[in-house]
């Protein structure tokens, strides 16, 4: 079990992130509200100032979904 001080620190950081990036948080909520299923492709692009973008993607496997379920259980 997480101690209350650590929990408050994480909640404050989450609230700050949500305030700083409301569109990204709304995007994540929309995506995860429908669930991620096997075969879903997740693509990520990182663009640093003055550099070319770097993009990668992954196809979600059943083992990935199982890992996510395990992590959700740990977070409870």
The Cα–Cα gap between 56 and 6 comes to 33
Q: Are residues 25 and 58 in the same domain?
A: no
Residue 51: per-residue pLDDT: 98
The Cα–Cα gap between 54 and 47 comes to 7
Q: Are residues 18 and 44 in the same domain?
A: no
Number of domains in the chain: 2
The Cα–Cα gap between 70 and 12 comes to 25
Q: Is the pLDDT of residue 9 over 80?
A: yes
Residue-number span of the structural domain to which 3 is assigned:
1-35
Q: Are residues 20 and 5 in the same domain?
A: yes
pTM over cut 0.75: no
Tell me the average pLDDT of the chain. 92
Q: Are residues 42 and 31 in the same domain?
A: no
């Amino acid at each position: 079990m997480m101690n209350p001080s650590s929990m408050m620190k994480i909640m404050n950081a989450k609230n700050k992130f949500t305030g700083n990036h409301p569109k990204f948080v709304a995007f994540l909520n929309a995506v995860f509200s429908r669930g991620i299923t096997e075969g879903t492709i997740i693509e990520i692009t990182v663009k640093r100032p003055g550099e070319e973008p770097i993009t990668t993607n992954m196809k979600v496997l059943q083992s990935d979904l199982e890992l996510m379920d395990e992590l959700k259980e740990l977070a409870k």
